[in-house]
Amino acid sequence: MKAKVLELLVLMFAVVFACSIVVSGVHASEVTSTITVGTSPTGLAYDLSKGEIFVANSGYNTITVISDNTNAVVKTITVGTSPTGVAYDSGKGEIFVANRGSNSVSVISDSDNIVVATIPVGTTPSNLAYDSAKGEVFVVNSGNNSVSVISDVSNTVVATVAVGTNPNKVIYDSGKGEMFVCNSGYNTLSVISDSNNAVVATIIVGISPAGAAYDSGKGEIFVANYGSGANTVSVVSDNTNAVVATIPVGTTPYGLAYDSGTNEIYVSNHGSGTVSVISDSTNAVVATVTVGVSPSGVAYDSAKSEIFVTNLGSNTVSVISDSSATNSPSSYPPTPGTTATSTPITNPTSSPTQSPQPSSSSDILQQVWVPTPTNAVAAVGVSAVVLGVVSSLFAVVSNPLGGAGGAIGEKTRDLIPDKIREWIAEVVASRRKLVVENKTGSILKPTKTETLAYVVLVVVLAISFSYVKVITLSQIWILLPVFLATSLIVGFVQKFFSIVYLRSKGVWSEHSIWPLGIVLFLFTTFAFKVPFSSPTRSVNSEKYTEHLGAMVAASGIFISLAFAGIFFLLLQGGYPAIGDAGLSMCVIGSFFGTFPISPMSGKDIFSHSKRLWAGLFIATLIIFVAWLLML
């Protein structure tokens, strides 16, 4: 019977995994022009009122002004040393330029393209962003891990905010009135409220976040993870401040821009000379466009529906038209061209499974997974209902007319054959009160049944928690080692302790596979992306008492919570891979364990002491909810 159940579960895995592969639609984008600018162009910004693009030439101490009507250079402006970041102030009609080499910000009037002010800021300012609601410019100072806040009325610094290590990019979220700062040395985003200029959240993203863009249509922040081997973009919800997706892109992604006309994100891949186009509806790469050498900054021109990309290594700006997005596959040129003014799509039919995949050191390990509250509630509700219904059905099958009492109840107690009742108890109900024969032997040595149960527990936990975190199935191999190690530690210590304790008290307890628990675990994993159940349970000999059961159950929950605390500290200490994996397993496991429904351990606690059960249930519920809202 167990072999058949395991075969069925393997088949379920195969079917669900096969159904998980989705191919994206076709998209077309192309380079329509290439413009020569100054030396080592990096950041750039679009001036809507003038229809011009301002490009920072970091190797030439100048700003190149490009007309989007003619795609020609109309002005060159001298600013400070090594200008890198540019931001357009729509309220004042001015351009703010971060001069990395001179620790200052140059202010340019777009009416005459003249520098009208120079503002001292922090050490090595690298990028800036304009806050339209407050009339302020936020400047990232990479050298002293701070953000300078400049009033565009007085052109003076009005506040300085401490952030993470080596900040290098800031983006304004107009929907929330917040600034998101990329801390490349700490793999985090600092979220600053513009109402009080204070950091209100810190979000763990990928390796060395270098660029970001705000998607106003979705209320999301797209972050380029530039670090070695990362090659991904993290998607952060500004509602929960949680990473909701990680998207594989090209090599060393750097700059991003949101195209509000097509609801797409354009990502410059610094190491591969390409731009990845991401659809915000599917969080998948829908096109890859070849541009110049070492593309860096990206800006969207809403009037012309064009994307401007600075090519640091070739001293040019590539102009990409997004108007070809509706082209059919037949409209693509049969033979890709190679000219600078007409660069075709590199991979016009790319899909999530065809996009460049992260390596073994990918930032998928750095991503912190927290399920959405809606999915978590659904998983909890389904599990509670299924357990309650099955428990009731088992009682009915065991004694169909037991409620009638007297002779009728006694006569119908054995109406169902023992073999059928045993099968239902084993495969469906799996009640904790099932007994095993008392045995002798080492209290530390697991039986063959227990060894199999431990293996199944570790494998199911690892695969399920890996699945809910990945974007593409190929990434699961990156996560499996971490989750296998974590599930081995958590599952083994928790279960093994209870069994050793009971055997020391003269009660033979065995850990065994729980078929219903596995089915529930897989269902909640694939239906809601929230693994919520237990793949195994324990059966005990006749010396097992209610008091012993309650003590063991409570101890198991305390052990799980203790581990959760350790993993939380690891997560906060900069070890998101092991910390995230262990925390999620322990929080879910401890809360599920308090359910007062047979065969869950919470039933033993509830029967022994309702006060103890209530305390544990409330505590684990609070921790579970806090975890859902953690990011």
pLDDT in tens, 93-152: 999 999 998 999 999 999 999 999 999 999 999 999 999 999 999 999 998 899 999 999
pLDDT band at 567 (very low <50, low <70, confident <90, very high): confident
C-alpha–C-alpha distance, residues 509 and 248, integer Å: 47
Q: So what's the pLDDT on residue 539?
A: 67
C-alpha–C-alpha distance, residues 12 and 519, integer Å: 9
Q: So what's the pLDDT on residue 112?
A: 93
C-alpha count within 13 angstroms, C-beta hemisphere, residue 312: 21
Helix (H, G, I), strand (E, B) or coil at 506: coil
DSSP for residue 323? G
Rounded to 10 degrees, the C-alpha dihedral 529/533/535/538 comes to 170
Average pLDDT of the segment spanning 387-391: 75
Average pLDDT of the segment spanning 180-195: 91
The structure tokens listed for 326 are 């509706």
How confident is the prediction for the chain on average, in pLDDT?
78
pLDDT in tens, 573-602: 667 777 888 888 888 888 888 888 766 777
Q: So what's the pLDDT on residue 130?
A: 96
DSSP for residue 331? G
* Polymer length of the chain: 631
The structure tokens listed for 616 are 């544990």
The structure tokens listed for 349 are 């039919």
pLDDT in tens, 427-481: 444 444 444 555 555 656 677 777 888 888 888 888 888 888 765 566 677 778 8
Could you tell me where in the chain the CATH 2.130.10.10 domains are found? 36-326+346-363
- Say if residue 371's pLDDT is above 70: yes
The H or E element spanning position 283 is none
Least trusted range by pLDDT, from 118-127, 377-386, 429-438, 615-624: 429-438
Residue with tokens 């401490």: 162
- Which CATH number applies to 36-326+346-363: 1.20.1740.10, 3.40.1390.10, 2.130.10.10, 3.90.1150.10? 2.130.10.10
pLDDT in tens, 262-313: 999 999 998 888 999 999 999 999 999 999 988 999 999 999 999 999 998 8
Q: Which residue has the higher pLDDT, 608 or 243?
A: 243
Q: So what's the pLDDT on residue 449?
A: 76
**Over the range 442-464, which residues count as b (16 or more CB within 10 Å of their CB) and which as e?**
eeeebbeebebbbebbbebbbbb
Residue with tokens 């579970």: 624
Whether the CB-CB separation of 363 and 234 falls below 8 Å is answered with yes
The structure tokens listed for 80 are 């400070």
- Say if residue 91's pLDDT is above 80: yes
C-alpha–C-alpha distance, residues 166 and 145, integer Å: 6
Question: In degrees rounded to 5, what are phi and psi of residue 162?
Answer: -75, 135
C-alpha–C-alpha distance, residues 346 and 30, integer Å: 9
C-alpha–C-alpha distance, residues 46 and 494, integer Å: 58
Average pLDDT of the segment spanning 209-220: 93
- Say if residue 402's pLDDT is above 60: no
C-alpha–C-alpha distance, residues 29 and 324, integer Å: 6
Q: Which of 142-156, 336-350, 502-516 has the highest average model confidence (pLDDT)? A: 142-156
SS3 track for 167-206: EEEEEEECCCCEEEEEECCCCEEEEEECCCCEEEEEEECC
pLDDT in tens, 311-337: 988 899 999 988 643 333 333 333 333
Q: So what's the pLDDT on residue 472?
A: 55
Residue with tokens 């006309």: 261
Instruction: Measure Cα distances from 533 to 205, 509, 559, 591, 600 in Å.
Output: 28, 21, 17, 10, 9
pLDDT band at 12 (very low <50, low <70, confident <90, very high): very low
